[in-house]
């Protein structure tokens, strides 16, 4: 379970600042949260803060409960303990980037297995086969990212981000380069895997209409001024 209170950052835009704020969030294990909003409202910034790759200016509470153990991540952020943050990212977080996010010098299979190798976790080969077959990338496993389309990379990146069964999956516009069929397939797979492996998932998307009917908890960006936005439940 993920609990966040008062997560704030002000980012410079020219001579002024744009403030992004998440007053409150509670995501249960297996729950999928959708983050929506106009371009430039700070969706990716919010995801980066939650993903611990961007230090917020303020965070009052950031608790992640895994296997009945609660991690006070806010404390780690405030202490700026970058090694501990890296540990948390490696073990409990899965991050799917908009452009794929794969190392160019590893083939797709090794890219997918990288998170698990870093943790020295054994891979459930049945699950691996299921995911690559489901997303139709089995024939691409020996290729390098450069040889794939962005959509194919996004699909590979998704598997890479959940292969080590993280507690929290963060996906930044995971379907932006996918055709409607594959976009539906990926959304369904995210929901399926989140529920199956108790992964709390947060998805930033502009593809709101595609998942509107799925009844997911949604955070929507509300512009409180021209220089500030807040993410509130829809």
Partner 1 sequence: MDKVTAKWGLITRLSLADLCYDKKVSFCIIAAVISVITPLLLLFSLKYGVVAQLRHQLLNDPQNLEVKIVGNLQFDQQMLDWIKNQPETAFVIPLTRSLNTQADMLKDSGHFVNNAEVIPTSKGDPITKDMSLINQKNQVLLSSLAAEKMQIKTGSRIKMVITRQLDGKLEKGITELEVIGIIPEVYYSRAAGFISLDLLIEMEHFYDGYQSETFPTGTGLTNSTYPDSFARARIYAKSLDDVAPLALKLREKNIETRTQAMAIENMQAIDRVLSFIFGVIAITAIFGCILSFSGSFLSNIERKRKDIAFMRLIGFKSKEVMVYLLTQAMALSCLAFLVSCLLFLLGNCAFNLVLGKNLVSQPIVSQLQFYHFIIAFILTLFISFVVVAIGGRGAVKIQPAESLREA
User: Which among 17-25, 102-110, 176-184, 191-199 is the span making contact with partner 1, rule CB under 8 A?
Assistant: 102-110
CB-nearer residue toward partner 1: 79 or 87:
87
CB-nearer residue toward partner 1: 82 or 234:
82
170-229: contacts with partner 1 (CB under 8 A): none
147 to each of 8, 98, 101, 119, 174, how far by Cα in Å?
A: 39, 17, 14, 27, 19
Gap between the Cα atoms of 195 and 32, Å rounded: 8
Is residue 18 part of the contact set for partner 1 (CB under 8 A)? no
Indicate the length of the chain as a whole number. 234
Is residue 13 part of the contact set for partner 1 (CB under 8 A)? no
Is residue 53 part of the contact set for partner 1 (CB under 8 A)? yes
Gap between the Cα atoms of 183 and 175, Å rounded: 5
User: Which among 20-28, 46-54, 59-67, 212-220 is the span making contact with partner 1, rule CB under 8 A?
Assistant: 46-54
Candidates 112, 102, 94, 98; CA nearest to 175 is 98
Candidates 154, 185, 192, 188; CA nearest to 171 is 154
Q: Which residues would be at the binding site for partner 1 (CB under 8 A)?
A: 44-45, 48, 51, 53-55, 82-83, 86-87, 89-91, 93, 95, 97, 99, 101-106, 114-115, 117-120, 144, 160
């Amino acid at each position: 379970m993920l609990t966040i209170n008062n997560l704030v950052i002000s980012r410079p835009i020219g001579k002024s600042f744009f403030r992004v704020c998440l007053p409150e969030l509670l995501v249960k294990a297996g729950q999928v949260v959708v983050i929506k909003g106009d371009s430039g409202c700070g969706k990716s910034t919010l995801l980066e803060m939650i993903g611990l790759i961007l230090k917020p200016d303020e965070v009052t509470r950031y608790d992640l409960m895994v296997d009945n153990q609660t991690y006070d991540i806010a404390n780690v952020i405030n202490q700026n303990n970058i090694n501990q943050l890296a540990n948390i990212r490696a073990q409990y977080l899965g991050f799917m980037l908009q452009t794929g996010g794969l190392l160019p010098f590893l083939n797709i299979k090794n890219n997918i297995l990288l998170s698990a190798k870093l943790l020295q976790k054994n891979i459930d080969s049945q699950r691996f086969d299921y995911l690559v077959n489901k997303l139709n990338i089995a024939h691409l496993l020996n290729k390098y990212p450069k040889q794939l389309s962005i959509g194919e990379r996004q699909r590979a990146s998704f598997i890479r981000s959940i292969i080590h069964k993280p507690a929290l999956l963060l996906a930044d516009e995971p379907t932006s380069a996918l055709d409607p069929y594959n976009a539906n397939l990926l959304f369904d797979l995210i929901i399926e895997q989140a529920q199956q492996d108790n992964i709390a998932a947060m998805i930033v998307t502009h593809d709101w209409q595609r998942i509107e009917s799925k009844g997911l908890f949604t955070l929507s960006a509300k512009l409180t001024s021209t220089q500030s936005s807040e993410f509130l439940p829809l």
